[in-house]
Structure 1
């Protein structure tokens, strides 16, 4: 399955689709995999494919920047990665690898693999800090949430899906937490970091249909914008605020050597 970015300036749908890939065998849930073998090459200038491709335990990244890998691997908004050199967002790489543990990784294991890749092959060293930044607070509307706790059992893995059409963007979340929703749903389609202030700790089933700004609405049937859709369909709001936000400060990063 090719998992590609569907509209400019965001990797949200690439990340969303990553979590939908399935296989007949999963990695043991307590496994912390590394790469058994991995190659990294500069992406060809004429490469048109972009995104994350997961086929069982075979992992491919096509035309991805180091910044995109960091924000996925650490569940961050792009503005939460600071003091990095310009090339981490302007130069692109192809990654092709197989983990050293049998089975398909879950989302957390996929992130762990990329964290190790960043450290071992790109020499990424970072430290956590707080910075005062404009952000959005994710809050429950006065009328309460408009979605229910999941009907799946605790043994089912979370599942996210979505598609992009002329009438807007549709995202579905099953057995998903608010953290899943932030990472795979909205964190990378808004202009500032999102801080979860809902207090919701469970897992839920819900869907969201909205019209991303770059997409021109067809006559008659336009979906609402993201902020309106969240209020009307989910009972959640994004409130613009400013305050201390977690950031990753990049201390060092280097371009990978030849494989």
Structure 2
């Protein structure tokens, strides 16, 4: 579930369309190892979620046993609805095939966003991937403040500096105010009840937060930031995930997702229709190996 939560952090990447970067050396191979027990777990030296968590690797990108959809999602920083739309347009192998990638750029100080652009070039070269962006009217949720100009008790605008030293941790402790001790990505916090998720982040763009709500709450539609809040935020949210709430029914101990949004963060979701950006698949081939 941790991998799913991290993968759910998503926002369309506002990078210059005319900028084209590519790896200097790259090997891409389909991983046909046995799935399930005894198979390989996906591995990567660069977090493929859409957040800013990234420790420079000297220009190296090493990925093993990774699904194609996650590779595309990393390259284009897809939201959950964009991933769903792409999956519906793509051939079946996109959800089944797994790949190993070893790539290097001579730009040893390469940023994570530059790696995304290089991944776009690699997918175009080896898979013939061609996409374009298109606006389509669809049901969305408008994220609004419950009380005008008032944030909830566990939601604030980001101020001050914080450490980005994760040291390989998958969970972290909270600081004196209850927020993660480190910043830059979505984190599971220690001390959650067994049926709850307690997640938090510091220094997260508000629009990344809004689009992430779709996956965290299993909402089935995009979320648009209409709070009037701009810039980066800190938050902590403790909730019973939808699947656990459905299983427990009336016996669920804790706040459901939307109730937690209201009471802990001071946010509400209003249903409406408006244009949203979809990444449309124009062309895709199976792997053309080295």
Output the CA distance in 2 between the equivalents of 1:222 and 1:205.
Answer: 25
User: What SS is found at the alignment partner of 2:89?
Assistant: coil
Question: Residue deviations 1:128-173, cap 9 Å, x none?
Answer: 1122222222222225222222223599896123228633222221
Q: 2:99 aligns with which of 86, 90, 94?
A: 94
Structure 2 residue 37 is the aligned partner of structure 1 residue 49:
no
Q: What is the CA distance between 1:246 and its match in structure 2?
A: 1.1
| TM value normalised by structure 1 | 0.73
Q: For residues 158 and 74 of structure 1, do their structure 2 counterparts lie closer, same or farther at Cα, with a shift above 3 Å needed? A: farther
Query: Aligned in 2, Cα 1:85/1:110: closer, same or farther, shift over 3 Å?
Result: same
Cα distance, 1:161–1:76 mapped onto 2, change above 3 Å:
closer
Distance change in 2, residues 1:193/1:76 (3 Å): farther
Contact 1:15/1:52, CA 8 A, preserved across alignment: no
In structure 2, list runs of 5 or more residues that go unmatched.
Answer: 10-18, 47-54, 165-181
Partner of 1:152: 160
Which deviates further from its counterpart, 243-252 or 197-206?
Answer: 197-206
Which residue number corresponds to residue 256 of structure 2? 225
Moved >6 Å (runs of 4+): 154-157
Gaps of 5+ in 1: 17-30
Aligned to 1:168: 196
In 2, are the aligned partners of 1:41 and 1:95 still within 8 Å (CA)? Answer: yes
Q: What is the TM-score of this pair, normalised by structure 2? A: 0.66
Structure 1 pair 220/113, CA: closer, same or farther in 2 (3 Å)? Answer: farther
Distance 1:240 1:253, change over 3 A: same
Task: Work out which of the two has the higher radius of gyration on C-alpha atoms and give 1 or 2.
Answer: 2
Aligned to 1:174, what secondary structure does the other structure show? strand
Counterpart check, 1:120 vs 2:128: no
Aligned to 1:131: 136
Q: For 1:106-117, what aligned pairs fall within 5 Å after superposition? A: 106=112, 108-117=113-122
Distance of aligned partners of 1:222 and 1:92 in 2 relative to their CA distance in 1, 3 Å threshold: farther
Offset of 1:252 from its aligned partner?
Answer: 0.4
Q: Does 1:234 align with 2:265?
A: yes
- Tell me how far apart the structure 2 counterparts of residues 95 and 186 of structure 1 sit (CA, whole Å): 30
Q: How many residues align?
A: 236
Q: 1:161 to 1:61 in 2, by over 3 A?
A: same
RMSD over aligned Cα atoms? 3.5
CA distance in 2, matches of 1:249, 1:171: 32
- Tell me which protein shows more strand as a share of its residues: 1
